[in-house]
Amino acid sequence: MTDTDRVGRVAEDYTAAWNSGSAEAVASFYSEDGEIIINRGDPWRGRKGVAEMATGFFADVPDLKLTCDHVRQAGDHILYLWTFTGHDAASGNPLSIKGWEEWDLDSTMKVKASRGWFDADDYARQAAGE
């Protein structure tokens, strides 16, 4: 299997983990000391931190459905483009949010670092029904 094939498989499996609703499944794609930072916020460190981040998303969007829109690779640096849909837990309003994660993978294909991005203002507008 080529690295490109392996990366594609990781992206597919990561998408499935999000769609399982299991924060631990999402966290399992990260190295023990991996981290994610979203929109320049505070980092969630280690698998426990990543699971806490995912738990927050599942609480905010209980019917979250993630799709992988595209994957780009440059060595061990991966761009994972996604869209999630669902309904805001507080308002019940529908959401369709596009974003991406920039991953640095280790030699075992685990995420060492992820920088996630989405338009938080657009998210707030959609949650408010605007």
User: What is the token pair recorded at 99?
Assistant: 């974003």
pLDDT digits (tens, 9 = 90+) for 17-74: 999 999 999 999 999 999 999 999 999 999 999 999 999 999 999 999 999 999 999 9
Instruction: Confirm if 123 and 95 have CB atoms less than 8 A apart.
Output: yes
* Domain ranges, ordered by start, for the chain: 3-127
Predicted pLDDT of residue 4: 84
Query: What's the N-to-C CA distance of the chain in angstroms?
Result: 46
pTM value > 0.85: yes
Predicted pLDDT of residue 61: 98
In this structure, CATH architecture of domain 3-127:
Roll (3.10)
Whether residue 2 is predicted with pLDDT greater than 70 in this model: the reply is: no
pLDDT digits (tens, 9 = 90+) for 80-125: 999 999 999 999 999 999 999 999 999 999 999 999 999 999 999 9
Predicted pLDDT of residue 1: 41
Cα of 44 vs its chain's centroid, Å: 12
Please report where in the chains the tokens 């927050």 appear, as a residue: 56
